[in-house]
Structure 1
Amino acid sequence: MQFQSYILGSNHFDLDPDLWPVLQHFWPQADTWREDLRRFGVLAGGAAYRVADHVDRESRPLLVMHDLDGNRIDRARLSPAQEALLGELAAVNASPYQGGSWHHHFAQGYLLADPGLYCILTITNCVIYAIHKYAPEFSVWKENLLAGEAWGATWMTEVQGGSDLGANLTRARMDGEVWRLEGDKYFSSGAGITDYAVVSARPEGAPVGPKGLALFLVPRLDRAGHLNYRVRRLKEKLATRAVPSGEVELANTEAYLVGKAEEGIYYTLEVLTLSRLANAAGAMGLARKAQLEALTRTKRRTAFGKTLDAHPLIRRDLTDLAVRIAGGLALTFRAVQAWEGAWSERPPYSSRYHYARFLTHLAKARTAEHGTSCTQLAMELFGGVGFVEDFAIARLAREALITPIWEGPANVQALDTLEVMFRKGALEPFLGEFVPALERVGTPSSRIALEALEKTLARLRQAEPEEAQWLAKESLRTLADVAITALLYGLAGTSGERYVKLAELYASRFLKGEEYSSWALSAPEVWGRHLEG
């Protein structure tokens, strides 16, 4: 990969113009962890970046169905380089459970960014989370997962249902001290490396629909040491090749109930919220790597007698990358901050929890859009060579394509946003946070944001239920953009005038629908800041 990337071997924490300002703004203990994040930036820009590329091109996981003695094992064979790297990366999951912070966890996920590697970590983290909060009797499994001695997974999706969990058909029946599961999980990330999975299933006699689902822990081996489920096959995927994903068959599978059966859907949604935050961090991390690759390219490549970054159209595109990434990162870590304050809550939840869930929907959906736009534009800035697999940029663009789909596409996020806004009361704290913040700023751009917010909410409030759904996705986008504008202005108070410029550029482009102001042509602090690192 050394001839395919401009940023391989660099410290990705040091190169980043926004991560540290954002962390300092939202995380009071950030200074304590700066050197740890700098060390992780070396790993993210070195071994992790290289191994991710190696797995993608040369060493995809392979399913091994039998051992030498003919016993069915259904294990994925990984590259030795990937196995060694995962051992180092396992510590990413430890911080929230060992006196640290979710900010630390998601900052490392952002720096890592690779969806395959980070997926393995985050689905493992979801199992740790479920055990930590609702099944402490399995703390030995939790410790194995934290140590990197085992890996976890979340298996919810079924082919007939997709994102509609209420359509799941997997059944659960009580059998003495354990439960037995019967069903198929169509897209199971981690298939072949998973030692413990959290699985949704419907107990006998439970009502139809999502509220009839319970959540179960499923170990790879049953109490007799036999294979407890089967991996039918691994999926061929466009990207995210580092995580083996496949079809899992549950047949007389031993399982253990997590918490209360009647609260299973709530536990499942908590796990999904955690995964959506990871999705947002990963999307922005991919966008950042693509931006850094492209920015370096534009400073080294010449056309028409001068470097690319001296051309106005290139500077316009670099401005677009900088504005989208700063905005998406600010929204992501505001959502992480809200999650940090609410994750210990159990059903029935307070308004604080519902607001954290609301911000997560905004962050997940909007960062996925920004991430795919950024990686596509960065690839375009490379010109024709950006489209070939010779360069790292092509893989980053492929990897970003998954971020709008995993953990629920924008349509699902929009429907869930409507629910938490109007049924769970999350709109009130949103207005309470962002309206006064924008009013205090008092600039033309902040007024644009306030007008966009007022117009969007008026349309939603006047709409019939079906029309509200029709408007939901665009409304989610507007709400996210209003929040981002306010958050960027807020960052100016702790990190300087650059964030005022970013806020004004963001509002004019995404809330007013205008082209970026041409004054940004002469503002390299906006679009080329990383070179100062």
Structure 2
Amino acid sequence: MKVVTETKGQNSYSFQEFVEKREKLDWYRDEPFLQEMAKKYLRHDFNDIHEKILSFSPKVSGEWNRLAERLARPEVHPYMLHFDAFNNRIDRIVRPVETHQLEQGVFGEGLFSSKMSPWESFIKRMLIHQLGEAGVACPLTCTHGLVALLEQFPDDEYPELYDILMHTKEGEGGEFAIGAQYMSEIQGGSDLPANVLEAVPDGKYYRLYGNKFFCSVAHADYSVVTAKISESEKVSTFIVPSWLPGDKEREKRNSYEINRIKWKMGTAELPTAEIEYKGALAYPIGPKDKGIAVAVGIVLTLSRLEIGIACAGFMLRASREAELYSNFRTVFGKKVKDYPLSASKLRKIKSAAERTTAGAFKIYDLFLKLEQPLNPGLKSDHPLEIRKQLFNLRELVLLQKINVTQEGAEVLREAISIFGGHGVMEEFSSLPRIFRDVVVNEQWEGPRSLLLTQIYRDISRVVDWYPPREFVQGVLEGAPEETIQEFSVQLEELLQKPVLGEVTEASIEAAAEWDQFCTAFFKAYQETAL
């Protein structure tokens, strides 16, 4: 007698087709727009760098992406081990093996080495940022700032600074050191003049005493630290090694303690700590009592610039994966992409990604064209036209930082919605993790209100040699004349309104107008880049 076994209620649905296609994506080869931008700005260097990126990209898209996914799991997030078995204070930051593997691979590229062209490094970093923070993005950014600071202010009196430069830029024995920047204190945050960390002279060196409250990349080898020299009210800048020679192997830190690692909503793979300095040896760098200009003009400017590059990478990945899923998933008999509301979202996401990428390339192109683009200040000895270009760059970096982080959060949220309920599943998609990283980036290196204030003050201070209409024309070169005219009139009017000062109904309204103006103005800049 033949027995018939019925299988009722079984569901054979599988995501395997989507997963396999996503895993085979090459983040450069399969991103035509990124290649178009590279061809436009790299010009005669394109063919050579294009081949190098084609060789590099599968590593990021494949092996490094798999490492990033594994190290993002909450059970392997960094934690502190304050003492060893013999009660010695070691303050070891324990990180998963995947982080060490990824870190070795990323830093082993020598992205800031003299052997690599700036454009090659730029595109590679835009691809790396598509991993999300992954425990390497912020360290890369901070290391870039440290290298630039050391190059800007060489000092033969402190040969240690040259050794640190070589260790971070060119590597030693194949190992590249990692940099960090510790500036914020509990009472001030972005208000660096409020720093109270004290630098006490010790011969030609200094010893640091006090607390830093937000210290990302707490596992770094060297850090840029702001402090006030004893009996001074002005901030100076110092380079602080995490270990003195021979002490790293013994886990004996340079006279400071790590109180704890912070619990953050994003960049969770990155150890951000509170640090207590108890006489740490520090090397001064740059003009004494000009630490804020040094720190902001070089280190924070590069960090803000990098956030723009990162957001372009975030949006490109979000657009690519949302489009792939919408072409796979069928709902109520139609693919997700075939519903007008979904198609509208996909178009919005792609448009924002391309516009942000184009803007990032255009700003970086200006950055590379200018000689000594960092730390120029508003008053300099440069010819007037160069001063104007430097000012354009200064404001564009600020505008980019506040706008692409805000729009980045919106784009990531829209991309997540394309996935429906699966969009918020951490094991299904990287987008929730990257969304949280964007929100953190929006606060890092100065929140929106602070930078909007800085932009307004900057433009107000240069009207005698750079009138608003000329500034708008300079930034929006290539835009339609009516667009330039419209923004010129708006800017001139806003400079007469109480955007800053006491809180009144009029100032609140003016501040909201200023916020809206800066958003629209920067989007117009991005459009010209397209």
Which bracket does the TM-score occupy, shorter chain normalised? 0.7 to 0.9
Q: Please say if residues 258 and 275 of structure 2, whose CA atoms lie closer than 8 Å, have aligned partners that are also in contact.
A: yes
Paired with 2:65 and 2:241, the residues of 1 have a C-alpha distance of: 31
Letter matched to residue 277 of structure 1 = L
Paired with 2:370 and 2:293, the residues of 1 have a C-alpha distance of: 14
Paired with 2:520 and 2:109, the residues of 1 have a C-alpha distance of: 33
Q: CA deviation at 1:456?
A: 2.4
Q: Please say if residues 157 and 165 of structure 1, whose CA atoms lie closer than 8 Å, have aligned partners that are also in contact.
A: yes
- How has the CA–CA distance of structure 1 residues 469 and 311 changed in structure 2, closer, same or farther, with 3 Å as cutoff? closer
Paired with 1:430 and 1:105, the residues of 2 have a C-alpha distance of: 30
- How has the CA–CA distance of structure 1 residues 430 and 108 changed in structure 2, closer, same or farther, with 3 Å as cutoff? farther
Paired with 2:306 and 2:412, the residues of 1 have a C-alpha distance of: 18
Q: CA deviation at 1:295?
A: 0.7
1:401 matched residue in structure 2: 439
Letter matched to residue 50 of structure 1 = R
Paired with 1:428 and 1:92, the residues of 2 have a C-alpha distance of: 44
Counterparts of residues 21-420 of structure 1 (less than 5 Å) = 21-28=36-43, 29-57=45-73, 58-91=75-108, 94-95=111-112, 97-98=113-114, 100-113=116-129, 114-115=132-133, 116-135=135-154, 137=159, 138-146=161-169, 147=171, 148-191=175-218, 193-207=219-233, 212-222=234-244, 225=247, 226-228=252-254, 229-269=256-296, 270-342=298-370, 344=372, 347=376, 349=380, 350=382, 351=387, 352-392=389-429, 393-420=431-458
User: SS in structure 2 opposite 1:327?
Assistant: helix
User: SS in structure 2 opposite 1:322?
Assistant: helix
1:18 matched residue in structure 2: 33
Percent of paired sites with the same residue = 25
2:470 is the alignment partner of 1:438: no
Letter matched to residue 358 of structure 2 = A
Deviations 1:80-120 (CA, angstroms, capped at 9, x unpaired): 2221221111145534x515443333322221112232111
- How has the CA–CA distance of structure 1 residues 184 and 8 changed in structure 2, closer, same or farther, with 3 Å as cutoff? farther
- How has the CA–CA distance of structure 1 residues 343 and 429 changed in structure 2, closer, same or farther, with 3 Å as cutoff? farther
2:505 is the alignment partner of 1:464: no
Mark the structure with the bigger radius of gyration. Answer: 2
- How has the CA–CA distance of structure 1 residues 384 and 263 changed in structure 2, closer, same or farther, with 3 Å as cutoff? same
- How has the CA–CA distance of structure 1 residues 276 and 121 changed in structure 2, closer, same or farther, with 3 Å as cutoff? same
Give the TM-score, by structure 2 length: 0.83
Letter matched to residue 436 of structure 2 = R
User: SS in structure 2 opposite 1:221?
Assistant: coil
2:460 is the alignment partner of 1:422: yes
Q: CA deviation at 1:411?
A: 1.1
Q: Please say if residues 283 and 367 of structure 1, whose CA atoms lie closer than 8 Å, have aligned partners that are also in contact.
A: yes
RMSD: 2.5
* More deviation, 355-364/390-399: 390-399
Paired with 2:312 and 2:477, the residues of 1 have a C-alpha distance of: 27
Give the number of the structure with larger relative contact order, counting CA–CA contacts within 8 Å between residues 6 or more apart. Answer: 1
Paired with 2:34 and 2:53, the residues of 1 have a C-alpha distance of: 10
- How has the CA–CA distance of structure 1 residues 428 and 47 changed in structure 2, closer, same or farther, with 3 Å as cutoff? farther
Q: Give the number of aligned pairs.
A: 475
Paired with 2:364 and 2:109, the residues of 1 have a C-alpha distance of: 15
Paired with 2:108 and 2:485, the residues of 1 have a C-alpha distance of: 45
Q: Please say if residues 120 and 190 of structure 1, whose CA atoms lie closer than 8 Å, have aligned partners that are also in contact.
A: yes
Paired with 1:374 and 1:387, the residues of 2 have a C-alpha distance of: 14
Paired with 1:141 and 1:5, the residues of 2 have a C-alpha distance of: 44
| Structure 1 unaligned regions, length at least 5 | 489-533
Runs of 4+, deviation exceeding 6 Å? 1-5
User: SS in structure 1 opposite 2:494?
Assistant: helix
Q: CA deviation at 1:280?
A: 1.1
Q: Please say if residues 469 and 488 of structure 2, whose CA atoms lie closer than 8 Å, have aligned partners that are also in contact.
A: no
User: SS in structure 2 opposite 1:75?
Assistant: strand
Paired with 2:19 and 2:434, the residues of 1 have a C-alpha distance of: 12
* More deviation, 262-271/347-356: 347-356
1:482 matched residue in structure 2: 524
Letter matched to residue 406 of structure 2 = E
Paired with 2:257 and 2:330, the residues of 1 have a C-alpha distance of: 55
- How has the CA–CA distance of structure 1 residues 265 and 462 changed in structure 2, closer, same or farther, with 3 Å as cutoff? same
- How has the CA–CA distance of structure 1 residues 309 and 19 changed in structure 2, closer, same or farther, with 3 Å as cutoff? same
Paired with 1:111 and 1:429, the residues of 2 have a C-alpha distance of: 36
Q: CA deviation at 1:461?
A: 2.6
Paired with 1:412 and 1:93, the residues of 2 have a C-alpha distance of: 34
Paired with 1:15 and 1:183, the residues of 2 have a C-alpha distance of: 50
Q: Which has the higher helix share?
A: 1
Give the TM-score, by structure 1 length: 0.83
Q: Please say if residues 266 and 347 of structure 1, whose CA atoms lie closer than 8 Å, have aligned partners that are also in contact.
A: no
- How has the CA–CA distance of structure 1 residues 101 and 460 changed in structure 2, closer, same or farther, with 3 Å as cutoff? farther
- How has the CA–CA distance of structure 1 residues 337 and 435 changed in structure 2, closer, same or farther, with 3 Å as cutoff? closer
Paired with 1:103 and 1:366, the residues of 2 have a C-alpha distance of: 23
Paired with 2:450 and 2:115, the residues of 1 have a C-alpha distance of: 33
Deviations 1:456-475 (CA, angstroms, capped at 9, x unpaired): 21321321352465543222
